[in-house]
Amino acid sequence: MNPARIIGVGLWGSGLPGFPPSRAVLAGQAPWAADDAPPPVPGLLPPAERRRLGTTVRLALAAAAEAVAMAGIDPRAAHNVFATSNGDGAVVHALLEELARPAPLLSPTQFHNSVHNAAAGYWTIAIGSRAPTQCIALHDATFAAGLLAAMAELADGAPVLLCAHDAPLPAPLAAKRRTETGFAAAFVLAPAQGEPAPGSLGRLSLRYEAEAAAAPFAALPPALRRLAEGNPAAQALPLLAAIASGRPARLALPYLDARLELAFEPERAVCLEAAIGAGRA
């Protein structure tokens, strides 16, 4: 598969309130501390739409908006890949509870928030995008599947926004599908052709291997390792850590009974501070 350049990243999770504030934690230079701060309410949407958003969609939109801002691109020009294992479990739970009542009254708003492409729908509405958009789910391998789809989508020549997001499910669903904490990560990828742009964070290549990954998160600090093991979207943490540290990395992501081998190479002439600054200019 052809390599890509990472030109923007976004992040939101417990103790990880955006990528720039979380760089020291991701690079292993500061300890991680949990917090319960909710993801920001996206200003991209009108007030009526904002009031309908659940935590899962807010997570996704916070990470996606940060990644696109850092990349400095018109978000309408990017193709989109949204990856979520659970979807919005809180909404699904509420609908199931209502269906169990003697005379259920289902809310149309709740229903359209329950579908698996809800976050992608809100994002494309918010930015006015008509670009191709995929919604991916593959149980514990959802982030790897989303990354594979995003890399393949680059063949069209346009940048690609990949956003992976998942949040805990309420009981009793949580007993069957445990997700430890809410997390979202987003990457803007561009074809790796020619000289790197000033905002390029690094070059990424990917290869499928038929054997399973052995201890894929072992290099992370213990607290971040628990996050990566407790949320499918948080399997993006090893790649985020490599970007934050600005060092080459060889990573393996679980992909069902196989693995994806990732190679990340920072662009030699580009520092991370310049890349972040370019996206905010």
pLDDT tens, residue by residue, 219-275:
999 999 999 999 999 999 999 999 999 999 999 999 999 999 999 999 854 445 544
Mean pLDDT of the chain: 90
pLDDT score, position 114: 85
Distance, C-alpha 173 to centroid of its chain = 23
> Rounded distance, CA 17 to CA 149, Å?
26
Query: Residue 134: enclosing H or E segment and its boundaries?
Result: strand 133-136
pLDDT score, position 90: 87
| Number of domains composing the chain | 1
pLDDT digits (tens, 9 = 90+) for 114-143: 888 999 999 999 999 999 999 999 999 999
> Rounded distance, CA 229 to CA 237, Å?
10
Determine phi and psi for 159, rounding to 5 degrees.
Answer: -65, 160
The mean per-residue pLDDT over the stretch 29-47 comes to: 85
Rg of the chain over Cα atoms, rounded to whole angstroms, equals 18
pLDDT score, position 279: 47
Q: What range defines the domain where residue 205 resides?
A: 4-280
Closest CA to 229 of 183, 188, 185, 260: 183
The model's confidence at residue 198, banded by pLDDT at 50, 70 and 90, is confident
HSE value, Cβ hemisphere, 13 Å, CA-based, for 107: 12
Residue with tokens 């789809």: 149
> Does residue 172 have a cis peptide bond before it, meaning omega lies within 30 degrees of 0?
yes
Percent of the chain with pLDDT over 90: 70
Provide CB contacts within 8 A for 194, sequence distance 6+.
none
- Kindly state the tokens that stand for 187: 């990457």
> Rounded distance, CA 273 to CA 148, Å?
28
Sign of the dihedral through C-alpha 231, 234, 139, 75: positive
Q: What is the DSSP letter of 115?
A: S
- What count of residues does the chain have? 281
The mean per-residue pLDDT over the stretch 18-45 comes to: 90
CATH number of the domain residue 137 falls in: 3.40.47.10
3-state secondary structure at position 163: strand
